[in-house]
Structure 1
Amino acid sequence: MPERSLTREFVVFQSMWAMQNEQGVLPSPLEQQLTKIAEAGFDGITDHFYEPGAARELATLARSLGLQIEGQLFPQTVDGLQPALDIASQYGCHHLTIQADVRPRTLKEAVTLIEGWQRLAEQVDFPVLIETHRYRVTNDLHFTLDLLRELPEMKLLADLSHYVVGREIPLPPSDEDQRQIEAILRHSWGFHGRVANSEQVQVPISFPQHQPWLALFSEWWRFGMQDWRERPEVQGSLSFTCELGPPPYGITDRFGRDITDRWQESLQMKDLARRLWQDCAPI
């Protein structure tokens, strides 16, 4: 029997949101942006994927360049997921990521909503993941852990930056903080790559003062990759999206300009993610 690790692959995507400039727009046409991403060695892109015309254009261009797609959507109801499932089924995607645009006050409300999405997701042959994100159903780390206790089959897309800044997790994290982040990672089936500190959601990873935070996130990402590889039910590929967003995520100077080159840092993060994957021991 071949080693299970031979069927488990790793892909790195670039966020189209991260390609926007300080004014929040793409500085060149979509085809040029996708070509730049493909030529830089990314495996795919992450973008909104719920409007038929935009999805058709994106899928056509991405396919011509050999790029896969992580589709993002922001449903507010159970039924709000269905149109995106139809579009993704028609045009193809690596997976869909839900940023659940609801903020229920009770666990019961959230469980009902997510159970509905899980039932709909059973119709398709690609993963449907729920992103850990502020101002979403997964806004709070503890609330999300409570959801996982009620819904242990819930598949997350881990953007850990939101929990670090949202809960002001210190450096180094406490043992309890570490256990809680590892619990999120054990239920994660993809990653959005961004480094936060206790007060800022996105810090420049090339600056020397942020290297301890980069090391912490690298440790967490490696843990999540290793855990994914060890799951007996896993098939397919694990995705990591470089998601270094424009302002106000990106920190700016007094003139509103980025204080770092986010594209160059995306390339740095791409290479880092692949090294972390290679560091994981084969199963």
Structure 2
Amino acid sequence: MRALRVYTSLWAMQPHDQTGVKLPYEQVVEMVAGAGFAGMALDSGAAPMADLKRIQPMMARAGLRPFLVSFPQTIAALRDDLRLAKDWGAPFVVVIGQVMPLTVAGMIPVIRAWIEMSEQEGMPILFETHRNCITNDLFTTLVLLDAIPEMRICADLSHYMVDREFWYPLSARDMGLMSRVLARSDSFQGRVASRQQIQLQLDFPQNRKWVDLFRGWWREGFAGWRARNATGECVFLCELGPPEYAMTGPDGREMSNRWQESLTIKSWVEQIWQEMDRQEDR
């Protein structure tokens, strides 16, 4: 049996609204569990490891599952995060690799070393499509995917939207490039970007075309995942980051409520998944 599991991110919960106030971890866990999320992504690049180790037992008591987002600065540095994630019962580790050779030829042995380490530790890894890391550029990542068939992706296409500054509407060629990434993706992240801005407000009328574009990509990603997997859990992460990801007005406050927006994205993707279930049942 297949199931969709929607997560949010601890990083996205701090702060959680326009006030800029950081919520206590106990309240964060209560909000996330109460809203029906399956778990939270714990991001070692955004919070001290001591904090992640403190919140994880709170999550476990609330029935929330973690997955770890790792930013290894050396090849060897990933191993500790793999072992920690395994101890916590995480489904996988998302790698935003900070080892960044300048050439694809230099990148290939780094990716292969991390994949081998993942197999040794018995903890799956997914390489996130992310700026300022080894998968910084869409074109480079596509070459890596061709060179390394076992490389699997966590698709946050907002980064590549900004990376390539795609014109709207996207050409058939550019849509095809993004489809190649989605075809290798085993989890997905929820944020809407434009060609210049990494995170847009969902209900501003001028952003509607970008919202529709990303909802279409999430649907395509789910369809591909379901075609490859007769059973298992598909993980979708609502990851709406705080400032300076979130845009602010002249008073320094955010222009939208990211907590409410995360619930909106959660409802969208759950609806997409349910529609696919109904279509298969016909």
Residue aligned with 1:56, SS: helix
Residue aligned with 1:86, SS: helix
Residue aligned with 2:94, SS: strand
Contact 2:67/2:85 (<8 A) preserved: no
Quote how far apart the aligned CAs of 1:125 are.
4.2
> Residues of 1 paired with 2:227 and 2:91: CA distance?
21
Contact 2:246/2:254 (<8 A) preserved: yes
Asked if 1:136 corresponds to 2:133, the answer is yes
1:90 to 87, 90, 101: 87
Quote how far apart the aligned CAs of 1:153 are.
1.4
2:240 to 232, 240, 244: 244
Q: Look up the match of 2:143.
A: 146
- Please show how residues 105-184 of structure 1 align to structure 2 within 5 Å: 105-184=102-181
Quote how far apart the aligned CAs of 1:103 are.
2.6
CA-to-aligned-CA distance 1:194-239 (integer Å, 9 cap, x gap): 000011010001111111111110111100101000015x642111
CA-to-aligned-CA distance 1:171-205 (integer Å, 9 cap, x gap): 21111111100000000111111000011010001
1:275 to 268, 271, 275: 271
2:257 to 256, 261, 265: 261
CA RMSD, aligned part only? 2.0
Relative to the length of structure 1, the TM-score reads 0.92
> Residues of 1 paired with 2:21 and 2:228: CA distance?
39
Quote how far apart the aligned CAs of 1:59 are.
2.2
CA-to-aligned-CA distance 1:61-84 (integer Å, 9 cap, x gap): 111111111211101222111011
- Please show how residues 6-85 of structure 1 align to structure 2 within 5 Å: 7-21=1-15, 27-48=22-43, 53-85=50-82
Residue aligned with 2:109, SS: helix
What amino acid is aligned across from residue 140 of structure 2 in structure 1? F
**Structure 1: stretches of 5+ with no match in the other structure:** 1-6
**Structure 2: stretches of 5+ with no match in the other structure:** none
Contact 1:77/1:113 (<8 A) preserved: no
Contact 2:20/2:253 (<8 A) preserved: no
Q: How has the CA–CA distance of structure 1 residues 26 and 153 changed in structure 2, closer, same or farther, with 3 Å as cutoff?
A: farther
Quote how far apart the aligned CAs of 1:244 are.
0.7
Q: Look up the match of 1:217.
A: 214
What amino acid is aligned across from residue 210 of structure 2 in structure 1? W
> Residues of 2 paired with 1:30 and 1:44: CA distance?
14
What amino acid is aligned across from residue 247 of structure 1 in structure 2? P
> Residues of 2 paired with 1:11 and 1:102: CA distance?
30
Residue aligned with 1:148, SS: helix
Contact 2:92/2:124 (<8 A) preserved: yes
Identity of aligned residues (%): 38
What amino acid is aligned across from residue 64 of structure 1 in structure 2? R
Contact 2:8/2:40 (<8 A) preserved: yes
Aligned residues: 276
What amino acid is aligned across from residue 241 of structure 1 in structure 2? L
What amino acid is aligned across from residue 28 of structure 2 in structure 1? Q
Contact 2:18/2:254 (<8 A) preserved: no
Contact 1:155/1:187 (<8 A) preserved: yes
Contact 1:95/1:129 (<8 A) preserved: yes
Q: How has the CA–CA distance of structure 1 residues 116 and 282 changed in structure 2, closer, same or farther, with 3 Å as cutoff?
A: farther
